[in-house]
Structure 1
Amino acid sequence: MSFRQISSARNHQKMRFHDGLPEGWNRDRFRQLCVSYAQIRGVSAQCIRTFEIIIDMISPSAFRDPSQEPFCYARQETLIAGRGVTDRTIHNHERELEAIGLIERRLGANGSRCKRKGLGLFLTPALNLISEMLDAEVQSKAEKKEHDELRGDRSRLYQYVKHSLAVLASLPCPPDGASDMMDEFGSWPRADKLKYLSLDELRAHVQAAHDLWKRIEGHVAKRGEISGEPEASFGCHIQDQIEEKILSCNAGGEVTMPSANASDPDCSGSGPNGPAHCLESNHPTETEPHKAKKLPRVNNRILYELASPDLRMHIDSAGDGEQNPNPTLYAIETGVCSRLSEIGTNISGWHAAIDRLTIMGAILAGVITDARLSDPKLPPVVNPGGYLRGMVKADERGELNLISSFMGLLARRAREEEDGLPQDHKNRI
């Protein structure tokens, strides 16, 4: 035997040892990790079921004792067990599981297995792969979270772009390039197709959608170019028309959304026909009167001034990435949603606030929730998500007074300015 063969044999023998399961783990916890890893690697459901049968046939003590290797010596006929699959299918499953590092096949002639001879399907490679599987699981969860956030961002952009194009198209003299922007908007994939895009593809699409929104915003921001010069005390009425119609989406790309027809000059009537809970659906024709009465009249500048330094960072990031004392409504909505997620609020709580309080009410509730985290005169908020949901439930009971909360936050900011703030906070204001 050559030195290379001896070295290879020693390395192979070394890999047949393991350190057992981590402290506090059992076979079921290990199986869950392996199944999660197999799903991440794209293994089929039938193959995963085969693996579960294999691991269930091994004694739990074999996974804890480093002196013995856990292995399954059951015949293929046993693994089939009335599942309606063939021997060839089981053979392919075993090869696939071995390819991703969960098992090692040590078989006799013609694939025979024997407990006495130590022949069968060994799970030692999976035990030695625990740290890598844990890392893959963490990365997969992070990518899924980013994917969900990107789909939510696209849903918000959809509403802003759709209504902005509708306003531009209704002008007597639409700006140059309006038709091209409508064509680009009409080429967007439907909401129910977004979940099938890879993370890189979705990132590129959302970035392109954001760039389109910025181009449209550039036309709207050119005062006097397409709407006439407004009075000094009033903003551009085109921007007002756009922001009054804005909704966000809570469906996460799970409902069918027909994209706007590029040939139609008015995109506002081409929204999706999904269920009512989808905020990427059409704007409701009627708004409950009690909602409008309970909201204070605020503008984007006031909302930005009331925001905490951390919330302003999210708003600036959602805009151009630079400090802007008068951000767009899109930047404010996206920033509030991102900040609430950062402090532990579930996305379903944000959607519930939008459904009940409208977009502006949800934004105000989010600003107030974030401000409560740093209020020195009140008990600290342990659960921001519960606090936001409590505001929604208070509105359902008719007990929510956003105007009073808004005035209280205004008074608090005034006191903080009089008392003096840390230099970094002053710079932000």
Structure 2
Amino acid sequence: MSFRQISSARNHQKMRFHDGLPEGWNRDRFRQLCVSYAQIRGASAQCIRSFEIIIDMISPSAFRDPSQEPFCYARQETLIAGRGVTDRTIHNHERELEAIGLIERRLGANGARCKRKGLGLFLTPALNLISEMLDAEAQYIAEKDKHDGLRGDRSRLYRYVKHSLAVLVALPCPAEDVDEMMVEFRSWPRADKLKYLSLDDLRAHVQAAHDLWKRIEGHVAKGGEISGEPEACFGCHIQDQIEEEILSCNADGDETMSSAEAEEPDCSGSGPDGPAHCLESNHPTDMVPHKSQKLPRVNNCILYDLASPELRMHIDIAGGGVQNSSPTLYAIETGTWSRLSEIGANVSAWHAAIERLTILGAILAGVITDARLSDPRVPPVVNPGGYLRGMVKADERGELNLISSFMGLLARRAREDEDGLR
């Protein structure tokens, strides 16, 4: 036997030993990790089900005792167990599981399995792969969180770009490249296709979408139809100043605005075919507050001034990483949700707030929720997501008064400024 054969035999023999499960683990926790790893590696649902059957046929004690190897000696007919698959399918599943490192096939002639002879499907490789599987799982979760966040950014950009295009088309002298920007907007993938994009491709798409929005915003600001501040093109709910008497936004739709009346561009085919409540439906999010709730008239500067230092940081990050006392509405909305997510609010609570209170109402509710975490006069909010949902429920009952909460927060910030606490 050559030195290479001896070395290979020793390495192969070493892999037949394991240290058992980590402290506090059991077979079910190990199975859960293996299933998660198999999904990450792209194994099919049928293949994963075959693996679960294999691991359930092994005694739990075999996974804890390093002196023995856990293995399944059941025949393929047993693994089929009325599942409606063929022997060939089970054979392919075993090959796939071996290829991703979860099992080792030590079989006799014609695939024979025998407990006495120690022939079957061994899970020793999976036990020696625990640290790698944990790293892969952590990386997958981190990438999934980033992917979800980017899809949320695209959803918000979709609304803003669509509305900005409507304003741009209605200007007396639209930009020469408006058709080009319209074509680029229509080429965006649908919302239900975004989850199939890689993280890098999705990041590049969101950056391109943000660049398109900034281009449109720049053209609109030059059109003379608005004050020149980017956020003013998004309707009447972000005002240039707080009036002496706090008024609600136009709840009944009587007050009009030239940019808001603009006819929407024909974007047929560019939106997703999702449900009506989808954030990227073919109708932009209603910019007029719900009739049951009155909202204060504020501008972006005041919203930024009311924000906590932590919330301001998220708004600055969403706005490009530069501190800006007059951020765009997109930066405020994105930063508010990022902060709520950081303190434990669920995305479903945020979507419910937007659906019930509109974007401005949800932003105000988010700013108020975040401010309650550091209010010395009242007990801190233990569950920010529950507090936000509570505001939505109160509005459904007609008991929510965002104007009063806004005025209270305004007075609190004034006191803090006087005392030098901010």
Same fold by TM-score, threshold 0.5 exceeded? yes
Kept in 2: contact 1:101–1:125 (CA 8 A):
yes
Offset of residue 268 of structure 1: 6.5
Residue aligning to 2:405: 405
Residue aligning to 2:100: 100
Offset of residue 296 of structure 1: 0.7
- In structure 1, the residue corresponding to 2:292 is in which secondary structure? helix
- Output one character per residue of 1:374-418: Cα deviation in whole Å (capped at 9) or x when no partner: 222221222111111111112122221111111111111111111
| 1:321 correspondence with 2:313 | no
AA aligned to 1:17 is: F
| 1:240 correspondence with 2:238 | no
| 1:383 correspondence with 2:375 | no
Offset of residue 182 of structure 1: 0.8
Residue aligning to 1:163: 163
Kept in 1: contact 2:192–2:272 (CA 8 A):
no
* CA spacing shift, 1:409–1:77, aligned 2, 3 Å: same
Residue ranges of structure 2 left out of the alignment (5+ in a row): 239-262
* CA spacing shift, 1:273–1:97, aligned 2, 3 Å: closer
* CA spacing shift, 1:308–1:403, aligned 2, 3 Å: same
Kept in 1: contact 2:288–2:358 (CA 8 A):
no
- In structure 2, the residue corresponding to 1:267 is in which secondary structure? coil
Q: Find the aligned partners of 1:59 and 1:330 in 2 and give their Cα distance.
A: 56
- In structure 2, the residue corresponding to 1:290 is in which secondary structure? coil
Q: Find the aligned partners of 1:279 and 1:162 in 2 and give their Cα distance.
A: 12
Residue aligning to 1:267: 265
1:212-231 equivalence runs, <5 A = 212-221=212-221, 225-227=222-224
Kept in 2: contact 1:350–1:362 (CA 8 A):
yes
Q: Find the aligned partners of 2:231 and 2:198 in 1 and give their Cα distance.
A: 34
Offset of residue 316 of structure 1: 1.1
Q: Find the aligned partners of 1:39 and 1:138 in 2 and give their Cα distance.
A: 13
AA aligned to 1:242 is: F
| 1:290 correspondence with 2:292 | yes
Offset of residue 77 of structure 1: 2.1
| 1:19 correspondence with 2:11 | no
Residue aligning to 1:360: 360
Residue ranges of structure 1 left out of the alignment (5+ in a row): 247-264
* CA spacing shift, 1:287–1:401, aligned 2, 3 Å: closer
- In structure 2, the residue corresponding to 1:24 is in which secondary structure? coil
- In structure 1, the residue corresponding to 2:58 is in which secondary structure? coil
Kept in 2: contact 1:220–1:239 (CA 8 A):
no
Q: Find the aligned partners of 1:310 and 1:386 in 2 and give their Cα distance.
A: 20
Offset of residue 237 of structure 1: 8.7
Q: Find the aligned partners of 2:231 and 2:178 in 1 and give their Cα distance.
A: 16
Offset of residue 218 of structure 1: 1.8
Q: Find the aligned partners of 1:269 and 1:195 in 2 and give their Cα distance.
A: 22
Offset of residue 154 of structure 1: 0.6
AA aligned to 1:67 is: S
Q: Find the aligned partners of 2:220 and 2:374 in 1 and give their Cα distance.
A: 36
AA aligned to 1:156 is: R
AA aligned to 1:290 is: S
Kept in 1: contact 2:237–2:298 (CA 8 A):
no
Residue aligning to 1:396: 396
TM-score (norm 1): 0.87
Q: Find the aligned partners of 1:286 and 1:149 in 2 and give their Cα distance.
A: 26
1:189-204 equivalence runs, <5 A = 189-204=189-204
State which drifts further: 305-314 or 19-28. Answer: 19-28
* CA spacing shift, 1:57–1:356, aligned 2, 3 Å: same
Q: Find the aligned partners of 1:128 and 1:237 in 2 and give their Cα distance.
A: 59
Q: Find the aligned partners of 2:264 and 2:352 in 1 and give their Cα distance.
A: 30
1:1-20 equivalence runs, <5 A = 1-20=1-20
- In structure 2, the residue corresponding to 1:19 is in which secondary structure? coil
Kept in 2: contact 1:106–1:120 (CA 8 A):
yes
Report the number of matched residues.
Answer: 394
- Output one character per residue of 1:329-366: Cα deviation in whole Å (capped at 9) or x when no partner: 11100110111111111000101111111110000010
